[in-house]
Structures are given as structure tokens and as C-alpha cells.
Amino acid sequence: MQKFYIETVGCQMNVLDSELVHSGLVQSGLVPATNHDNADVILFNTCSIRQHAENKIYSALGRLKHWKIIKPYGVLGVIGCMAQKDQKTIFQRAPHVDLVLGPGQLELLPETVHQLLEEKLQRNYVSQEIEIESGKKLLVSLKRQEHRHAEVIGSFRLFNPVRNPEARDNRFQAMVRIMFGCDKFCTYCVVPSVRGPEQSRQPQEILNEIQTLVRQGVVEITLIGQTVNSYRYKNGEKTTLLADLLYQVSDIEGIQRICFVTNYPRGMNDDLLQAVRDLPKVAKHLHVPVQSGSDTVLRRMKRNYTATEYRELVDRIYSTIPNVSMTCDFIVGFCGETDEEFRKTVELVQYCRFKNSFIFKYSERPGTKSAELYPDDVPESVKKIRNNVLLEIQDKISLEQNQQFIGKTVEILVEGISKQLETGEVQLSGRTSCDRIVVFNAPDNRLISQFLKLKIYDAAPFTLFAQQSEIVRIIRNRDS
Ligand code: SAH
Ligand code: SF4
Ligand code: F3S
């Protein structure tokens, strides 16, 4: 039996794609390997969002030269966003790679891997050199700038194999993609070119997939898309938006919690906020990246909103949805960002009181508008300082927010073991509906996948601590 191993970096799109690829390869007759060494096929599911992510992948590929010498019949493949972005360059920089296959070609992956395995077995390995020149495959989608929209959409093919619980980390949580690609074209971002045009999946197909997952034991669903709130499916007169979909998913018996990521600020309309407020199963947590608090930076980023509009949105979210938490993404050191512009971001963080923020230093991406239009002129040292300044402010806010939970009882879904304790007990961790992590001690791991009520006795910026003696089990029915 030939074995495969998948290495995954990047965002939830890639985590889900790796799960789907795992399912597809198992269906085609391969079996999962436990590590590189016993694998016949190694696939790297890659990310191009920042230069640093790509550098790490190229170094990891370099380290696999050795594996290829021991297993010349093995297949080393690069899939994911960097496959679509770098294409032939990957073969040049890592000549021992056999396959480069973009996110729009995953459907063709199992058969392509089998073709390569067979070709390699048939070939006489006289030298590594011969292999480098033949037996390679490049399958990618069309470039957006070079082809008609309809052709490009057709080249980013959707891959929806039957879901396989063995391919997931656990049996009770799963992601479901509701839309592919991105049409926002923020000037710094590679996603619209590597993931292609926005395409929303048919609602019934999404609901059927969720039904399948429920039969497999899933209680928490996360609907994902690069701009998930841009979801829009038109069928004749009827248009289904994300809010409509939330109502439909809520009606599925067995689903207990529904999350969705990631949101584009302009699409946060009142219907969506009200759906989050009114549907008890929908998590009271919204991730709405703002990127910067300065209007001039936002304009250079082409985000299509002002800082004031974003603050109004945050006010609207907090006043509509009781006990909601918000999280955010920021880019510091974007082209030409002055101290004054950065100060506006600091003010915005102080105003918005996010639960936590993901802060990134700007990384110039070849082929993007910002790389073409503006020099990457903020020194690395300044980017670092700004990153730390924001982190420090955010950490203080995170701690203050978490401290408000001390003495309160919260409801969590227990997700897994966070620590094995010397006493023989385990420390379990779970999440509240507002996405706060709670840890508590328990005799064993049997509470994993259960909903519990716990009393909080202490708080750190990213963790709430609860007491075991206060555990109250929740028996949930359809709409509680
Ligand atoms: N679709 C999501 C973001 C996907 S990428 C959205 O629009 O919200 C995740 C985060 O990576 C972004 O929110 C941004 O903060 C960061 N990012 C994207 N491109 C970047 C770049 N070139 N340099 C640094 N950070 C970047
Ligand atoms: Fe990138 Fe902007 Fe699309 Fe998010 S909305 S994926 S940041 S282009
Ligand atoms: Fe990276 Fe692609 Fe996600 S570039 S952030 S893996 S969509």
C-alpha cells in the first residue's frame, strides 16, 4: 500500500483543503503515513500571504532532497496558494519537486499522483538528472489579468469530495466552505490572484454537506470563505445571502454551534447582525479585519471604507448583539505609513476593544498593486516596534476584558486536552460562544465534545481558568 503525508501551512482554507485532499487520496486507494519517512507521497499545502511563509516552505522543500534520494520513486508535490503563484519557479528553485498543482485543480490531484507514481515505477532510475527532466507535472489555473473572467472562473474548479471524519482532527467540529476566492483586490494581497474569483456554492449543496457531517457526529460548524459575508447565491428570482444561510443551518437538528470567518467590513449589514443576535446556535463572535485606523493608509490599501465607518460598524455590532466579542487583523508598516498614520491605528485599537488582534508586518508581494505602486519604505525595525506597540495595547485590553469574567459562569464546548498533569488528571480546554478559551482540570478526557457550564476563577489575556467543582453539564435540545 502506498502512503501519503500532507504538511499544511496557511489559513483555514488550506486546513480544509488538506482534509479534502486526504479524503480524495484515501478514496483513490492510498493510505495516510504517520511521518515523512514512511511516506511515498509528500504534499506541501502552501501559503503565499507573506514572504516569510514562502521562505519557510522553500527551506522545508530543500530539506526533503534527502528523502528524494532515498525514495526516487516517491512523489513530492507542492499544492496550495504558492503553487498557483510561483508555478514553474518551484521546479527551478526545488528541482526535486515532481508536482505543482494549484488550489483550483485539487479535483485532479488523486489521479495525477497515481499517474506520477506509476510513471516512476516504470522508469529505470539511472540518475537523478533524468528524473528531473521528465515525469513532472504542472497544473494551475489561468491568470486573472490575462484571460476572460468566465474562462478564469472555469479554471478554478471546486473540489467537494465526500467528507471523511478520519481526515479531521476531531469528530465533533468541522469547517464547510461556502464561497471560494476573493474579488476585493486589496492592494497588498495575493489572495484574489491565487484563489481566483469569488464563487458561492449552492445553498442546498452546503446544507447537504452539513447533514453528512452531523451524521458523522459534528456539533460545531464553521462556515468559511475569504470574505464569507460576500456569500451570494442567485437562483432565478431568489438570492441567498449569508444571513439566510445562517437561518437554514440553524434549522439542522444536531448542529449546536455555528461560526463563520472571515468578514469584510463593508458586508456587515443589519440582516447579518440580527441573525447573529437572534439565532441561539450562532456564535457571538465576529472576526472583522480593519487592517489600519488611518484613512490615508486605508485608501492606499484600497479597503473601500474609512476609519469612521469602521468605528460606526463596531458601535452597531456592540449595540445589536449582547455579549458579542470581536477580533481583528492589522498590517503595520504598510507602504509610506507615517508615525501619525500609525497613531490613528493605535487610537482605533483603543476604541474598539477587540478580544484579540492578529498583527502582521507588511510584506511586499510581487504582482500586487501595492508592490507596483508604492515603495516598501518603512524600515523593518520600525515595523517591529509598531507591531510590539499594538500587541502591548491589545494584550492589556484582552486581559481587562477577560478579567470581567471572573466569578461568572460560562458555557463552553470542550475541545481537547491542553495539558497532562502530574497528578494524573488532565487540563482540558474549550471555547465559549464568544470564542474565549477556558481551561479546567478534569479526571480524564471524557468531557471532550460536551457542552459544559463552568465558573471562572482567574483570567490571563488569552485564557480563562475555571474550577472543576463547578462543572454543570448541559443537555442541549434543538433550539437551546
Ligand atoms: N480575507 C481576509 C484576510 C485574509 S489574509 C480579510 O480580508 O479579512 C489574513 C490577513 O493577513 C489579512 O487580514 C492581513 O492582515 C494579512 N495580510 C494579507 N496580506 C498581507 C501582506 N502582504 N503583508 C502582511 N500581512 C498581510
Ligand atoms: Fe485579501 Fe482583501 Fe480579499 Fe481579504 S478581502 S483576501 S485582504 S484581497
Ligand atoms: Fe495563505 Fe492562501 Fe490562506 S495565501 S492565507 S493559504 S488563502
**Which string of DSSP letters, residue by residue, matches 319-331?**
HHSTT-EEEEEEE
- CA of residue 264 to ligand 2 center, whole Å: 8
pLDDT at 65 over 60: yes
Residue 471: band (very low, low, confident or very high) from pLDDT cuts 50, 70, 90: low
Angle between helices 242-250 and 270-278 (to 10 degrees): 20
Cell (9 digits) for 354: 477587540
Ligand 2 atom with the shortest distance to the CA of 195: 6
- CA 10–ligand 3 middle distance (angstroms): 5
Strand (E) positions, 109-172? 137-139
Distance CA 434, CA 259 (A): 10
What is the Å distance from ligand 1's center to 164 Cα?
30
Q: Fold match between 170-283 and 288-403?
A: yes
Helix (H) or strand (E) holding 167: none
CATH of domain 170-283: 3.30.750.210
Q: What local confidence, expressed as pLDDT, does residue 422 receive?
A: 87
Does 227 sit in the ligand 1 pocket, CB within 6 Å? Answer: yes
Instruction: Tell me the pLDDT band of 328, cut-offs 50, 70 and 90.
Output: very high
- Comparing C-alpha atoms, which of 133, 118, 29, 139 is closest to residue 75? 118
List, in order, residues 6 or more apart from 39 with CB less than 8 Å away: 3, 4, 5, 33, 74
**Residue to probe by mutation, ligand 1, list 266, 329, 335, 384, most atoms within 8 Å of CB:** 329
The verdict on domain 288-403 having CATH code 3.30.750.200 is: yes
Sheet holding 257-261, edge to edge: 173-177, 220-224, 257-261
CATH of domain 3-155: 3.40.50.12160
Is pLDDT at 379 greater than 90 in this prediction?
yes
The residue extents of the domains of the chain are 3-155, 170-283, 288-403, 409-479
Beta strand spans in 288-408 (E) = 325-332, 356-361
Write down the mean pLDDT value for the chain: 93
d(CA 265, CA 301): 14
Nearest CA to ligand 1 atom 3: 226
pTM across the whole model? 0.94
DSSP-based three-state secondary structure for 102: coil
Using the atom order of ligand 1, give the atom closest to the CA of residue 291.
15
Q: Name the residue with the closest Cα to ligand 3, atom 3.
A: 11
Q: Tell me the C-alpha to C-alpha distance, in Å, between residue 41 and each of 31, 55, 129, 189, 308.
A: 10, 22, 20, 31, 51
**pLDDT value at position 120?**
74
Q: For the residues 356-373, what does the mean pLDDT come to?
A: 97
Mutational test site, ligand 2, from 84, 184, 303, max ligand atoms within 8 Å of CB: 184
95 has pLDDT over 60: yes
